[in-house]
Amino acid sequence: MKIKHNDETIAIKPDLPVIPLRDVVVFPHMIYPLLIGRNFTINALQEAMSEDKHILLLSQKEASVDKPKQDDLYSVGVVARILQVMKMPNGTFKVLVEGLIRAKVENINKKNKYFFAQTKIITFDSKTQDRETEALCRAVSEQFSEYIRLNRRVPDEVLVTLASINEYQQKSDTIATHILQKIETKQSILEEFDVKSQFVILSDILNEEIEILKIEQEIDGTVRESMTQSQREFYLQQQLKVIKDELGQHDEPTAEVDDIYAKLESYDYPVEVKNKAEEELKKLSKMHPYSAEAGVVRSYLDWLIGIPWNKPTKDRINFKDVKAILDADHYGLDKPKSRIVEHLAIIRLAGKVKGPILCLVGPPGVGKTSVGRSIANAMNRKFVRMSLGGVHDEAEIRGHRRTYIGALPGRIIQSLKKADSSNPVFLLDEIDKIGKDFRGDPASALLEVLDPEQNSTFTDNYLEVEYDLSDTLFITTANSIASIPAPLRDRMEIITLPGYLDFEKLAIAKNFLLPKLYKELGLTKIVITFQDDALYEIIRSYTRESGVRELERQIGAVLRKIVVEIASGKKTKKITLTKNKVHKALGAPKFVDSNIKPTPTIGYAVGLAWTVVGGETLPVEVVPMYGKSKLTLTGSLGDVMQESAVAALSYIRKNREQFGLTKDFYDKVELHVHIPEGAVPKDGPSAGVTLITALLSSLVSIPIRTDIAMTGEITLTGDVLAIGGLNEKLLAAKRNGISEIILPYQNKK
């Protein structure tokens, strides 16, 4: 069938692919964007694009139906022409269509996974004009103009478009498109084939909508008038305050302000704090009580007067009591204990003294963190702990300025308020793991905190008032000195905590770990004898650490087996734990006593290495082979260790006569240096002595005693330089049964 559309003749087939629509009705002469994503609608779109780009648009009765059938669709729709298709990144299609003419469905079938409809085109006699139709058209147009004036969601340009339309049917469709009504109402207009009836329906709808919009405007006007009155009252109140200030008259403070004034008078705050608080109180008294600014000021005052200004606890300065408490909590650790006693002695003689900044450095599990709590207990001070691991933002230390929404003081001030003391023991844990990024450098912010010459005037960005941190005893902890930023390291007393020897671990287990675990596991009423050789077996065969953290876990694993037996009803009067019971509870040993060869071996030397978890032995193997001037290094060696091996070989070549080697010995040999446990990366300069000893042994065929370990950095001139991590290396040698150790002379102390 051929139709005329905007001075254009269009041929429309009776059979058309169908696109069901949800929550929308498209009228003729309207251009509308559609989002298509269901498979059967995409198939219908592709079919239409392959033919004449004509498609039938039918609205669904229920938008929630995802796979509609014929009964779910209205029987009257619009034949549309596809103007534009755009494929979206998520696989859906954005389609621009233009409604052409109404059509009634006579039959719907499913073909190739999409709906296919036989349609009957609905035509109107556009030339029929009578007075009644003209009158209805004018009345509806005026109503629509009033509707647009009241409803700002419809653009005014629609009236211009409407005025340019001459045909009644097109005017009716245009008005129906732009009224905000339910789908059912719009569909009823689409299904009305008489223009006069359409105008009557539109007139009724517009009358009702205009009345509703007028009521909405009245309500909105009432609300606006109420808001204007409230704003007027606030403005007058502000004027009244200014007039009273000019006359020297003041209102009585509110209960909240009065309470803050009372706190300021009842406590000995510094002068700067009082002045700042009074300044903020004046601002608060002039603000609307429910304004956002008033809330910010209240929060600030809560922090300002809630911080412990000049609120120290009294130190315990009886040396015997302090030492007894420290010894009861920790085994060994003589250096930090003696330093605290020294500090208390200075307090007794000099009165007030600046607190020292102690940095406890050692491997994990040796008691660095817990010793801080013990020191606080011994000195009768409050204890505060702040972990610095992973801190990247400078505001974590100094706080945020009050201009930011949700601003708070830094964690230093927050911790002091939590402790409610101005002289706590403040533990800054894991200072070597502090970060740095675009948000600032927290290490730089800590410089002021940890500098005894500056921390008496520490300024938090939020408080804007100086706070005296000089009475606070700061203790920091770290696993490695090298990882601490140099400016911070310069401000602290470094106290190294070495790992524990086996006999020390035994004492710690008997005096500290076992009583603690008995209490935690409910075994205090059971007589348990933990034999020393059983504890030694756990220490040597199931743990490999400098501290006692893993030891506590393994002992706990053994004791939990006992708890299960007791809960199962087995006899519980007396229990003795032996090596065999340890093996039964923990399984096969995890570590062998030593990985060192028992007899002297050519080209085999024992070195010592430092790791973050303590010391380790470092066997070095060298094998000479027939070849020419080649040095092969294996075992995951780092750059520094590889350079040490090259330097050691160069020293041997330079001094070949002293070692009885021929001039051309290196021209006939290929040396392979290997350090076992190749999966573990190894690096550092202290293996130089071990490497040169193993190389020389392999070249002169003289075996090396394996009960001797060595460490030291070698130079090309034969000098042996001092090394670090000496305590950890000595402990590793002791643990592996080594009786003699060769050390650099420069390490003699």
Strand-pair partners of 527: 574
What is d(CA 145, CA 151) in angstroms, rounded to the nearest whole number?
10
For residue 198, report the phi and psi dihedrals to the nearest 5 degrees.
-60, -45
Q: Is 729 a catalytic residue?
A: yes
Q: Is 686 a catalytic residue?
A: yes
Q: Active-site residue among 276, 581, 682, 729?
A: 729
Strand-pair partners of 336: none
Strands in 516-613 per DSSP E: 527-530, 574-577, 601-602, 604-611
Cβ(341)–Cβ(288) below 8 Å: no
What is d(CA 362, CA 512) in angstroms, rounded to the nearest whole number?
20
For the record, the structure tokens of 245 come out as 């200030």
Strand-pair partners of 550: none
What is d(CA 377, CA 663) in angstroms, rounded to the nearest whole number?
69
Q: Active-site residue among 374, 686, 697, 698?
A: 686
Name the residue type at position 65: V
Strands in 149-212 per DSSP E: none
For the record, the structure tokens of 117 come out as 């409809």
Q: Could you tell me which residues come within 8 angstroms of residue 602 by beta carbon, excluding any fewer than 6 positions away?
A: 697, 698, 701, 702, 703, 704
Strands in 583-663 per DSSP E: 601-602, 604-611, 614-626, 630-634
CA 22 to chain centre: 43
Rg (CA), the chain: 44
Closest CA relative to residue 502, chosen from 742, 741, 736 = 736
Closest CA relative to residue 455, chosen from 431, 477, 471, 434 = 471
Cβ(383)–Cβ(424) below 8 Å: yes
Cβ(100)–Cβ(28) below 8 Å: yes
From residue 739, give the alpha-carbon distance in Å to each of 26, 364, 617, 709, 745. Answer: 96, 26, 13, 8, 18
- What does DSSP assign to residue 499? P
Closest CA relative to residue 559, chosen from 543, 364, 593, 551 = 551
Closest CA relative to residue 512, chosen from 469, 552, 560 = 552
Name the residue type at position 650: S
Q: Catalytic residues, which ones?
A: 686, 729
